[in-house]
Amino acid sequence: MTESRPHILLVDGMALLFRSFFATAVHNHFQHNEQGIPTNGVQGFARHTLTAVSLFQPTHLAVCWDMGAVTFRNELYDGYKANRPAPAPELMPQFDMARQVSKDIGWKNFGSEGLEADDLIGSLVKQWKDRARLTIVSGDKDLLQLLSPSVEVALTKKGHSIYDVYTEARFKEEYGMTPAQFVDYKAFIGDPSDGYPGVKGIGPKTALKFIQTYGTAENTVQSIGELTKSERTKIEANLDMLRLSKELAAIHCDADVACTLDDLALPSYDSDTVSRLEGHGLRSVINQLVLSEPVTMAGGNRYEGISDPFK
């Protein structure tokens, strides 16, 4: 039976931008455009998204962005992501450029001050999961908490086209918990990459035991009398951090992302699209775009591709 529901691709724009930047920056391959702006991250983001459209064949698409380094999570905990280095100088101008390029291609973009891309993706999932099938493209495993019968998460793995795709069933089998319980699990073990510790001394094995036995962090605390003395001591000494870690780990799904399906429709590419991308110096993106969908320039001539410097 043919799938009749819309299929929405939700792209974590910042995750793809960072991944693409570091994949080429390690070889000092920044490739500046005529304005002197490095474009390696932007080109990688756009090409990654074009490839994802070809692979997953969505009917609709949205790109979500972080809008600055400070979010409500920093207000909750000043150590949140404090361990991360400042962005490289070559990356700084590519943040605004990537969002502009996404808009110039015709993709629908979402960003909100104080929120992360994850929160916007979660809010779009909440809005559409009962009416559409959704595929999330990112490298961030935190998004696995959004899995459901209608939501899959495609984690970047290698290059532009290799993904590790998780469904709700696969997650339950591999992790031994539900996607919603992933937040409680992280509340116990913390997340070193995001800079919050969870409960000191509680590792993955013990955390999983708590989740499988009691369901949630709150239920575990309510049943603390059933735990070993060592477990009780660790949790009692870190109760505030346990609660805070869960709040930091949870994707907030109440952002204002109201939109219609028409807003998320995949664009048609034309000569104006090519001209806008030429203005940014994104030749490899243009090549991939015209290969995925033939573009006729003004005057009826086909766009002639340019050799791809990233091959």
State the CATH number of the domain containing residue 201: 1.10.150.20
Contacts of 211 (CB under 8 A, 6+ apart): 176, 177, 181, 184, 185, 188, 220
| 152 pLDDT above the threshold of 80 | yes
Same-domain pairing of 207 and 96: no
So what's the pLDDT on residue 22?
83
So what's the pLDDT on residue 295?
60
| 23 pLDDT above the threshold of 90 | no
| 274 is a domain residue | no
Structure tokens at 153: 């998460």
272 or 30, greater pLDDT: 272
Same-domain pairing of 203 and 222: yes
**Residue 213 CA from chain centroid, whole number:** 31
Mean of the per-residue pLDDT values for the chain? 89
Same-domain pairing of 73 and 209: no
Same-domain pairing of 68 and 155: yes
| 67 is a domain residue | yes
Same-domain pairing of 168 and 239: no
| Average pLDDT for 211-215 | 97
Question: Which range has the worst mean pLDDT, 61-75, 108-122, 143-157?
Answer: 61-75
Same-domain pairing of 154 and 71: yes
Same-domain pairing of 168 and 196: no
| 159 pLDDT above the threshold of 80 | no
| Average pLDDT for 71-78 | 87
So what's the pLDDT on residue 243?
96
| 276 is a domain residue | no
Same-domain pairing of 165 and 191: no
| Average pLDDT for 159-185 | 94
| 15 is a domain residue | yes
| 305 pLDDT above the threshold of 80 | no
Tell me how far CA of residue 247 lies from CA of 77, 187, 217, in angstroms: 10, 8, 11
| 278 is a domain residue | no
Same-domain pairing of 43 and 160: yes
**Could you tell me if 77 and 248 are in contact, meaning their C-beta atoms sit under 8 angstroms apart?**
yes
**Could you tell me if 54 and 114 are in contact, meaning their C-beta atoms sit under 8 angstroms apart?**
no
Report how far residue 15's alpha carbon sits from residue 18's, in angstroms, rounded to the nearest whole number. Answer: 5
The secondary structure element, H or E, covering residue 65 is strand 60-65
So what's the pLDDT on residue 201?
95
Task: Measure CA of the first residue to CA of the last residue in the chain; give whole Å.
Answer: 39
| 69 is a domain residue | yes
Range(s) of the domain holding residue 210: 182-249
| 306 pLDDT above the threshold of 60 | no
| 40 pLDDT above the threshold of 70 | yes
Same-domain pairing of 124 and 231: no
Report how far residue 265's alpha carbon sits from residue 259's, in angstroms, rounded to the nearest whole number. Answer: 11
Confidence of residue 222 (pLDDT cuts 50, 70, 90): very high
| 210 is a domain residue | yes
| 309 pLDDT above the threshold of 80 | no
Same-domain pairing of 109 and 158: yes
SS3 167: coil
So what's the pLDDT on residue 307?
37
**Could you tell me if 45 and 216 are in contact, meaning their C-beta atoms sit under 8 angstroms apart?**
no
Same-domain pairing of 63 and 201: no
| Average pLDDT for 88-112 | 94
Task: State the total domains in the chain.
Answer: 2
User: pTM (2 decimals)?
Assistant: 0.91
Which residue, among 160, 134, 244, 165, has the nearest Cα to 199 in the 3D structure?
Answer: 244
